[in-house]
Structures are given as structure tokens and as C-alpha cells.
Amino acid sequence: MQPAATTQPKKGRILIAEDETTLRNLLQLSLTANNYDVICVEDGEKALQTFASESGKLDMLLLDIMMPRVDGFEVLREVRKVSDVPVVMLTALTSADEIVRGFDMGADDYITKPFVFREVSARIEAILRRVTWMKQPPPSPTRYRVGDLEVDLETHRVVSGKELCHLTPIEFGLLRYFLTHQEEVISKEDLFRQVWGYEFEGSTNLVEVGVRRLRAKIEASPSEPKYLHTVRGIGYRFQYADQTAS
């Protein structure tokens, strides 16, 4: 008698929105083979409908940018109104402006076409590891007051001056890492590894974009930062003269 086959738990539930049929099918086959539960749609309108019907059940969205009816940017905008679920943009666009636009709207990462499928799987696993890291109990202390910046790592509440800051998941991940490593010089490679969750790629500017966007939200004058300082040729240091942690 043959022993009963054991079923491995799924790694996650992923919605793919991609209008190219061949690429969509290949992504589905690749991710299903890697033990993901996959839902596929062919345009942004169906992506929003599926996202609504699967509310709370999705672990990630893979969104093509150039889709009919509703493009990937619009889907991302609507998703970010109600959810911090990780979103990866699939794009043939390589313009820095497009990357900045998506990141500003809350994208977690970009994968540029053409790509190899093991790269997609590696990126997904890295982002899901980061999500797990972000859900872990924050280190002590959990509440920080640095100058006029107040941060609660448990509730993700960030106030600069008297203004409530709305940070994307990546921006909050960066801030959390800086707060728990204050006064240390942190390289871009380390930030990429710790916050994005995989090895640094020299051609990416996601770190620079992320830091710039974080400064724009927590600094009164981003060009003359009080907290987040550039260490030329290396990376960044989070430092403030009168910092206290509670």
C-alpha cells in the first residue's frame, strides 16, 4: 500500500494582472509549480473586481502597467486606498520617472520585461519575507520621539510636527530600520538587503527613490534634512542631536 501523499502548504495567494496571454500563462505555470496559489486576470478592471472579491485573502499582486481599460498605476492607486498588500509592477518601461511614479504610489518593487522566471520567484519570496519581518513584534523600544518626529512601530503611526504622515510599506520599512540603527552609517547595499529582502543590484535606484520619498514626508526641509543624512559614497545615517526614545 502506497503511503498517502503529503500536501505542502501554499506559500501564498497571488493575483496576476497581465494582458499578454502567453506571459500570463507562463507566470501562472511557473508560480503554481513553486507552490503558490495563483489567480489570473487580463486587464485592470478585472484586477480591481478580483481584488475586491478576494479582500484579505491575497498575499501579493503582480500588475502589468500597460493594461487595457484600467492600467496598472490606476489599479495600484485604488488598492493603496484600502490595503498595504505587496504590489510588484511588471513593465517594459525602464524610465526612471515611471519607476518613481509607481514607487510614490506605493509599489513595492519593479520587474522589467523581459525577465527570467526564477527572478520573479526570488523577488516574490524576498518581499514575502519582508512582510513577515514587518509583522514580527517590533524591537524595544516600540515608540520613538526624535525631534518633532513621533513614530509608533506597533501601530505604524508616524507624526512629523503635527502632521500625520502616510507612508508606503517600503517607506515605513526604511524608517523602522533607520530608527533601530540610529547613528550607524548604513550602506545602500545593506538597506536593499534588509528592507527589500534580496541582494543589491547596482543598476537599481529604488534605494535612492525610497530615501528621497521618506525625506519628503518626515523632513520639514528635505534638501536640508534634520534626521536622514547622506554619507557620500557609502549610504545614509539617521541622526538627530536631541533624540530620545521612549
Q: Assess if residue 4 is contained within a domain.
A: no
| pLDDT surpassing 80 at residue 1 | no
Q: For residue 52, what are the β-bridge partners?
A: none
Of 183 and 112, the structure prediction assigns the larger pLDDT to 183
Instruction: Grade residue 43 by pLDDT with cuts at 50, 70 and 90.
Output: very high
Instruction: Say yes or no: 130 and 17 in one domain.
Output: yes
| pLDDT surpassing 90 at residue 70 | yes
The residue type at 130: R
Q: Assess if residue 6 is contained within a domain.
A: no
The domain spanning residue 28 has which CATH number? Answer: 3.40.50.2300
Of 145 and 55, the structure prediction assigns the larger pLDDT to 145
Give the pLDDT confidence score for residue 99 in this predicted structure: 73
The domain spanning residue 198 has which CATH number? Answer: 1.10.10.10
CA distances (Å), 225 to each of 62, 176, 216, 229, in order? 34, 17, 9, 6
Domain tally, the chain: 2
Structural domain containing residue 87: 13-135
Instruction: Grade residue 246 by pLDDT with cuts at 50, 70 and 90.
Output: very low
Instruction: Say yes or no: 159 and 177 in one domain.
Output: yes
| pLDDT surpassing 80 at residue 122 | yes
> Which of 3-7, 45-49, 69-73, 124-128 shows the lowest mean pLDDT across its residues?
3-7
* CA 48/CA 80 separation, integer angstroms: 12
Q: Assess if residue 162 is contained within a domain.
A: yes
